[in-house]
Each structure stands twice: as structure tokens, then as C-alpha cells.
Chain A
Amino acid sequence: MSYIEVRNLKKNFVVKKKREKGKLLREKETVKALKDLSFSVDEGELVGYIGPNGAGKSTTVKILSGILTPDDGEVSVGGIVPWKERKRHVKNIGVVFGQRSQLWWDVPIIDSFKLLKDIYRIPDKAYEERLGELILALDLEDFIRTPLRLLSLGQRMRAELCGSLLHRPGLLFLDEPTIGLDAVSKLALRDFLKWENKEYGTTIMLTTHDMEDIAALCSRVMVLGHGQKLFDGKLPDLLERFDTVRNVSVKYADGDPCLKLPEGVMTKKTEDGLELSYEPAKLPTAQLLSILQDAGNIRELTLQPENTDHLIAAMYKELDL
């Protein structure tokens, strides 16, 4: 059995509609947040969980972390049913909500950590050791005595991560951890997560809208839409499935040669040379490159990186999300 097992998970929310004119009672509407969701995650995996807003990502994370009780289905995390044995379960998990702080607002963050030590009943020695390690890894030294409210968003996220990892959880949930962070902070955060995962085999499940997060971190990606799992596999496979058109720009040293290109390749002349768009499914990239190379003396060639945001937008559209 895998570390996390989710089978036929269902969760509905009853939403009261606005009262219509002439009716005494408000009508109720059932929103199916999760319909029959199943998946499993092995220990030590780093899984990205994506989907448009309202797909059910947060609902899944909240059920897995013991906050919500599902309507139907089975969940087991390390053999524990989260909502049945909440306290035993949460001892071994860490949760970071991107938009919701778990630390105390007006006191230095070190004081928050000390209180967390008491909450999780961490022995003195283990606490000192782990705190020292996390201060180094997350570079907290400079602001550890600063109250949370005075920290920048990037510093705050690092502090939050430290707080949720002090008790060495085997499983870490991250709900949009890079939201609103600048490039440097994002990169540092990703490096840290990779390190934590490698060093301690911590299973990490993160929800995000940032495809870069997934590309940099996750060996596996799950796509959720309308409360159902739409894709589960490696990121390259996902990209391949929806990566239909790609661009190459090429500049020759001595004027644009006459290219003999197969059908389906669009060519556009620009000031900087040629821009070609092609379908990798019909014309493999390697083949195109050899045609370009044979045609003349290439000075510059850029394979445009696949724009994952566009890709995901295309995917959501194709899957009718």
C-alpha cells in the first residue's frame, strides 16, 4: 500500500443561493467539489497538484490534512484516516497555506517557533538541532528576532516553512507557496524544498498555479478539474500531449537562404532573421534542426522554451475547464 491512498473521494458543499423575488426560502444548491477522486502517492515523492481555481485542489489538501471530513470515500495517510484520528495524523504532517499565516503576528518569529515546540512537544535537543539547520537552510538569521508583521512576503514564507517543518513531518502540504514571491525568493524556496525532499525523504504535495514550480520541483504532476483527476504522470508527458505548436527563430550569417521545408511549417521573416513554427508531433525537432543546419551558416538559433502557462491554458480549454 502506498503512503497516501485516496479512493473514490467525494465532497459536496451546499451553497445557499440568493433569494429570488417572490420566494420565501432561499434555494439551496449542491456544489460537487470532488467527484470520485482516486490517487496514491509513494513515500518521498514530490507531487505537483494543478488545476484552475475551484477545481478542488484546496479541498483535497484540506481533507488530506484532516481539516475537512469528506462525504464519501476512503483516505489513508501512512495507515491513518486523517479526520478520524486527527491529532495522531497531524503530528506527522506540515501544512503551509500561501495566503494564511500560522505564526503569531506581533511577536518575533523565534518566539512563535518556541511556542510551536511546546505545541508539538518537541524535545529540547531535537528542537535546537532542527532549528539551527532550518535557520541555515532558509537563511533566517537576519530577521529571526523581528516580529512577523514587519517581514517581507519572501521572508514570511521562509519563516512559515521553518515553522511547519520544525517537528520533522514526513509529509508536507504546500498550498500555493510561491504566490506573490519575487524571482529570487521563488528560486530559493524551490532549492530548499528540493533539499528537504532529498535530505529527509519528505513527501511533498504542492498546489500551485505556477508551472515553473512544477517544472523545477515535481517529478509527477496531477491535473484536477471539476473535482476529477484529468491527468496523472510526468510533466514532459503532459506537455507533449498539449504541446502542439512550437517556435524556432534562426539567424544566418550570410542572408536568409532558401529553405526547403515540409508542409505545415510556417515561416515568418523578421528583422532578426526567420521565425518558424512547427508541430513537433509531425516534424521532430531534430529533423527540423538538421534541415536548418544544412541550409547555411547559422549564427544564432533559439528554440523558444515551451510557454507552460499558454500550454496549461490550452489544456484547460481543451478539457473544457
Chain B
Amino acid sequence: MNTLRLYIRSMGMLLRSHLQYTSSFIMQTIAQLVMEGGEMMAVILIVDRFQSLKRWTGGNLYFFFGMMAVSFYFTELFGRGITGDFPSMVRSGRLDTFLVRPRGVLTQVMCAGADPRRISCIAVGIVALIIGSDLSGIVWSPLKVLVLIEAIVMSCLLILGLFMIEAIFSIFSVKSVELVNAITYGGRSACQYPIDVFPLALRMLFTVVAPFALTLHVPASWILGKPLYGWPWWSAIVTPFSGVMVFGFMSVLFHLALRHYRSTGS
């Protein structure tokens, strides 16, 4: 409980820090809106041109896009410390200051980074979800709402876990940005479309290595009433937990790596 309070207070402080530079905050938030709006335009164009993609209707596509946008940008909003700032924390020695405080390092890294500008991207995602739900004619039930929330939370944990690969490499002062970006940002770009439109190799990548298919596509397909690969309904509840497994595994590796932390300068 105390940790949660600490996190909320830190977020408040970071928001105030951002608001110290009001105009640049507003401009960047608008820039984010334009960028994410552009991503959505791509989907709108596809729907406009082809009406459907394999067995997925236009409405379905908006729904997938919305789920990915909400998951990814929530992660960036609340987990910026891991998704973006960590390598520079290592380089600048800021990690040292976390290590001399009686709190978990991961907690402090999370508390040290938030990116409120992502709020505009999340808004785009929510709009897409609503349009997608409406066009697909989803009949919402309490279970479906729960599965939707579970899928988003688990996808967030998965994305955090994937970004932690970069964090772990940076502890050993190895730059791995390009490699890791391929499955994080690359994963976002690819997996905002239904997974079964992709060739087998990509499907394997996003099922076994970075299991977006399990945290996002399986439950989303079930909610849309078109189960992926015809899997039974309970798979929509079970498979997303791969997200928390990836996160847990990466956390363990992260703490092992910290023992080899070398610090910098004096």
C-alpha cells in the first residue's frame, strides 16, 4: 500500500515537473496526438480501401488497433522509467542514488519516470476501441469487460518486460536499442493488426518470443466472437497471463544483473 502511495505521489511530482514547462508540454502532447492519429489514419485507409482484412472486418481492425494503442501508451505513461529513461539513469549515475535508498530499485525506477504527454495517444486508442466495438456489434457482458481489462493489463506487463531487456543490457553498458526496438515498437506496429494475417515466422516471433498474440490477440478475438485458431473460450482468460510471466522473468534477470552494476565516475 505504501509503495502504491509513493508511486502516486511520484507521479504527481513528475506531472508538476512537466508543467513547469507548460507550452512545451502542450506542444508535445499535440505532436503525440498527430503521430498516433496518423497511425490510425493508416488503419482507416486500409478499411476504406479493402473493407476487410482476411476474416476481419473494418470494425474488428479498429478494435485491435485500439487495444494495442491503449496498452502500449499506458505502459509508456506509467512506466517511462523503464521504457525510456533507464539507460540514461545508468549512464548519468542516477541509479546510484536509487541504490542508497531503502526501496526496491524497480519501484524507484518506475517512480522516476512518467510521460503524461502520452495521454493524447491513449485518447486515440480509446476512441478506436469504442468505434471498433460499435462497428463490430460487440455485446458486452461482465466477463468480456473483465477479459478486456485483463488483456490490457497483461499486455502492459509484457511491454514492460520487453523494455527491460534493454534495461538489463544497459547495466552492462551494452547498447541494445535497435535490437529491442524491433520487438517493442516493432511489436506495437505489427500487432495492432490481427496476428493471423502475418506469415508463420512473424506469428512465431509474436507468440513465443514477445507473446503479444497471447496477451492481446487471443482475448480480443474472443471478445469479437471470432476465437483465434478456434481455441476454446477459457484460453482468452488463461493465455494473457504470459504477460506477467515475461515481466516476472525479466525482473529476476534485472536484479541478477544489478549485482554486476559497475557505477560510473566519482
**Chain A interface (Cβ < 8 Å from any Cβ of B):** 13, 53, 57-58, 62, 65-69, 83, 86-88, 90-91, 93, 95, 97, 99-102, 104-107, 111, 114-115, 118-121, 147, 175-176
Partner of A115, one of B13, B20, B92: B13
Can you offer 23 A-B residue contacts whose CB atoms are under 8 A?
Answer: A53-B266, A57-B266, A58-B265, A67-B263, A69-B259, A69-B260, A87-B103, A90-B101, A95-B97, A100-B92, A101-B97, A105-B17, A106-B17, A106-B20, A107-B13, A107-B16, A107-B17, A107-B20, A115-B10, A118-B2, A119-B6, A119-B101, A147-B20
Chain A CB within 8 A of B262 CB: yes
Contact assessment for A120 and B102 in the assembled complex, using a CB-CB cutoff below 8 Å: yes
Besides A99-B265, A100-B92, A118-B5, 4 other CB < 8 A contacts? Answer: A65-B99, A100-B94, A119-B108, A147-B20
**Chain B interface (Cβ < 8 Å from any Cβ of A):** 2, 5-6, 9-10, 13, 16-17, 20, 92-94, 96-97, 99-104, 108, 259-263, 265-266
> Please, which residues of chain A bring their CB within 8 A of the CB of B17?
104-107
Total number of residue pairs linking A and B with CB closer than 8 Å: 80
Contact A119:B100 (CB < 8 A) given known A67-B261, A111-B13, A111-B16? no
Contact assessment for B99 and A86 in the assembled complex, using a CB-CB cutoff below 8 Å: yes
Contact A102:B97 (CB < 8 A) given known A69-B259, A115-B10? yes
> Please, which residues of chain B bring their CB within 8 A of the CB of A67?
96, 99-100, 261, 263
> Please, which residues of chain B bring their CB within 8 A of the CB of A93?
100
Contact assessment for A118 and B96 in the assembled complex, using a CB-CB cutoff below 8 Å: no
The 6 closest A-B pairs by CB, nearest first: A106-B17, A58-B266, A91-B102, A95-B100, A67-B99, A102-B97
Contact A121:B2 (CB < 8 A) given known A100-B93, A100-B96? yes
Residue in B closest to A11 when the chains form the complex, CB atoms: B262
Chain B proximity of A153: nearest CB distance (Å): 17
Residue in B closest to A112 when the chains form the complex, CB atoms: B13
Residue in A closest to B259 when the chains form the complex, CB atoms: A69
Q: How far is it, in angstroms, between the C-alpha of A100 and the C-alpha of B6 when the chains are bound?
A: 23
Contact assessment for B9 and A90 in the assembled complex, using a CB-CB cutoff below 8 Å: no
Contact A97:B96 (CB < 8 A) given known A57-B266, A115-B10, A118-B9? yes
Residue in B closest to A111 when the chains form the complex, CB atoms: B13
Most buried by A among B9, B104, B108: B9
Contact assessment for A62 and B96 in the assembled complex, using a CB-CB cutoff below 8 Å: yes
Residue in B closest to A167 when the chains form the complex, CB atoms: B102
> Please, which residues of chain B bring their CB within 8 A of the CB of A83?
259
Contact assessment for A68 and B261 in the assembled complex, using a CB-CB cutoff below 8 Å: yes
Chain A proximity of B72: nearest CB distance (Å): 26
Contact assessment for A90 and B102 in the assembled complex, using a CB-CB cutoff below 8 Å: yes
Q: How far is it, in angstroms, between the C-alpha of A73 and the C-alpha of B103 when the chains are bound?
A: 26
Residue in A closest to B93 when the chains form the complex, CB atoms: A100
Contact assessment for A90 and B100 in the assembled complex, using a CB-CB cutoff below 8 Å: yes
> Please, which residues of chain A bring their CB within 8 A of the CB of B6?
115, 118-119
Residue in B closest to A104 when the chains form the complex, CB atoms: B13
Contact A66:B10 (CB < 8 A) given known A107-B16, A111-B16, A118-B5? no
Partner of A62, one of B102, B104, B263: B263
> Please, which residues of chain A bring their CB within 8 A of the CB of B259?
69, 83
